[in-house]
Amino acid sequence: MRKIHVFDTTLRDGEQSPGVNLNTQEKVQVALQLEKLGVDLMEAGFPAASPGDLTSVSTVAKAVKNATVVALSRSREQDIEAAKEALQYAENPCLHLFLATSPIHRKYKLKMSKEQVMEQARASIRYAKQYFSKIEFSAEDAGRTELDFLCEVTAMAVQEGVSIVNLPDTVGYMTPQEYGNIFKTLKQNVPGIEKIILSCHCHNDLGMAVANSLAAIENGADQIEGTINGIGERAGNTAIEEVALALETRNSVYEAKTSLQLDEIYRTSRMVSKLTGMVVPGNKAIVGGNAFAHEAGIHQDGMLKEKSTYEIMSPDMIGVKDSKLVLGKHSGRHAFREKLIDLGYTLEDDQINTAFQKFKDLADKKKQVNDDDIRTIVEEKLIQTVQYFKLEAMQVTYGNKSVPMATVSIHTREGEQLEEAALGNGSVDAIYKAIDKVTGESVTLQDYKIVSVSHGKDAQGEVYVILAQDDITVQGRGVSTDILEASAKAYIHAVNRLLEKREQGDASKRDNVSLV
């Protein structure tokens, strides 16, 4: 069975999704889960974009031991040097160089001829070879590049000794037949092509990223690039989990597979969704809430008789298991520990104790605590932000004939107890105005959304907010069975992240160039 390498760019291309801004700690958390998932390469970021990006790439590179850590770089010496600094402690570093090759990019963006593009690409590869033994070169917008020129560029990259050549469909323009033909043509016409790995990187503007990636594999691609849940620029990237399950489920067709630990897919998907605030749609393939749900009577009848009538995959393949232990307020620490193991979490004793106390608090509010509730507890406790402010108490007065009023009591990092009250257009508005008074921060609320963590009248609600102040944009999240409390927690979490980012001096606006 042919091995297909998985290049994950959730931390770079995925983070370029509008409204997504992960801090260093969150990037490390995702990176370690990607390592557990078994990706071959992970692109940690774009070090030349800002000092903060360089620091986060460096931190990820130190933490990851069993996967190749990749840093993105334009074909410029200063970018290559920034990547070198960021990856100096990586166990297995790789530089990802890119330069646009299509006529539209050459004319309008680069203002360069074919010859100039070729020379700059060659010079950057040679410069990078001084520092990196493993280099991936991407011909940005390869999908709209003339095939003969693409063959020339690839041949040059092979001659210069790169390890991987990536042919991105940068704007999601290709059809599967067209995109597959690019790989077929290069395989047939580029001397020495067998010496390197050919990689595909597809965007989803026309909804064909996964189909195009599979077409590339059919025509000789050895590596797919994508993100968890398909997040990324504009309409997103290839969803890694969809390609992996397509290869696994239809192995007789593709005769190729990844080496991913498939039962880590669901946990990885949840983590990425939670940290980015990008909710997975119910009808999303593989990891959506309805992916293994059956409502129609005919389907239910078939499932009861034989699951394969309507299920081509089983949920346990991706790590979704039926609940074996029903947990409630009378459950003990041992049952809770066993549930964590069943869900795939390996925690230290102090982490278990902290999570168990949170579980007991929740169990007092809910009759039954389900798997999603427990996952939320663990994920919330594992990922922390410096707590400049912590919500101690709040009270909201509301009536449809009166102006809502909120009083909040907040504990500061210095040990002070502060309390303020405010009126608002609604309960949430009043809460946020009161928090603004306590913190003294002037911020703009750019987005607010509520997601149900579980089902039922006593379900936990998860609130996501995006706050902006000057050139800093941050995301906050909060969870509670009371949606107003969750709203307050999310807002305070965002303010804490804002202060943390400001204190670290990482107020540099992220370079927003369109990258492969």
For 113-123, write each residue's pLDDT tens digit.
Answer: 999 999 999 99
Say yes or no: 65 and 140 in one domain: yes
What are the DSSP calls for 75-128, one per residue?
SSHHHHHHHHHHTTT-SSEEEEEEEE-SHHIIIIII---HHHHHHHHHHHHHHH
- State the CB neighbour count (10 A cutoff) for residue 415: 6
| Model confidence at 99: pLDDT above 60 | yes
Say yes or no: 267 and 348 in one domain: no
**Residues 417-450: tens digit of each pLDDT:** 999 999 999 999 999 999 999 999 999 999 999 9
Give residue 516's pLDDT band: very low, low, confident or very high (50, 70, 90): low
CATH for 77: 3.20.20.70
Say yes or no: 429 and 377 in one domain: no
**Residues 362-397: tens digit of each pLDDT:** 888 766 777 777 877 777 665 566 789 999 999 999
Say yes or no: 248 and 299 in one domain: no
- pLDDT of amino acid 431: 97
288 within a domain of the structure (yes/no): no
User: Is the CA virtual torsion 486, 490, 496, 500 positive or negative?
Assistant: positive
CB within 8 Å of 388: residues ≥ 6 apart: 412, 413, 495, 496, 499, 500
**Residues 200-230: tens digit of each pLDDT:** 999 999 999 999 999 999 999 999 999 999 9
The two tokens of residue 500 are 């943390």
377 within a domain of the structure (yes/no): yes
| Domain extent for 230 | 2-276
Which amino acid is present at 145?
T
Say yes or no: 429 and 364 in one domain: no
pTM of the model: 0.82
79 within a domain of the structure (yes/no): yes
User: Is the CA virtual torsion 436, 365, 461, 430 positive or negative?
Assistant: negative
Closest CA to 180 of 198, 162, 206, 156: 198
Q: Are 311 and 249 in contact (CB under 8 A)?
A: no
Cα–Cα distance, 276 to 477 (Å, whole number): 10
- Structural domains counted in the chain: 4
**Residues 129-138: tens digit of each pLDDT:** 999 999 999 9
Which amino acid is present at 321?
K
CB within 8 Å of 43: residues ≥ 6 apart: 7, 8, 9, 11, 12, 13, 70, 71, 72, 96
What is the average per-residue pLDDT within 466-490?
90
Say yes or no: 303 and 334 in one domain: no
H runs (alpha helix) in 129-264: 147-159, 176-189, 209-218, 240-249, 251-254
143 within a domain of the structure (yes/no): yes
Say yes or no: 148 and 249 in one domain: yes
Say yes or no: 202 and 344 in one domain: no
| Model confidence at 297: pLDDT above 80 | no
Say yes or no: 189 and 331 in one domain: no
Look at 93-107, 154-168, 481-495 and tell me which has the smallest mean pLDDT: 481-495
Cα–Cα distance, 367 to 481 (Å, whole number): 12
| Model confidence at 302: pLDDT above 80 | no
| Model confidence at 146: pLDDT above 90 | yes
Say yes or no: 102 and 200 in one domain: yes
270 within a domain of the structure (yes/no): yes
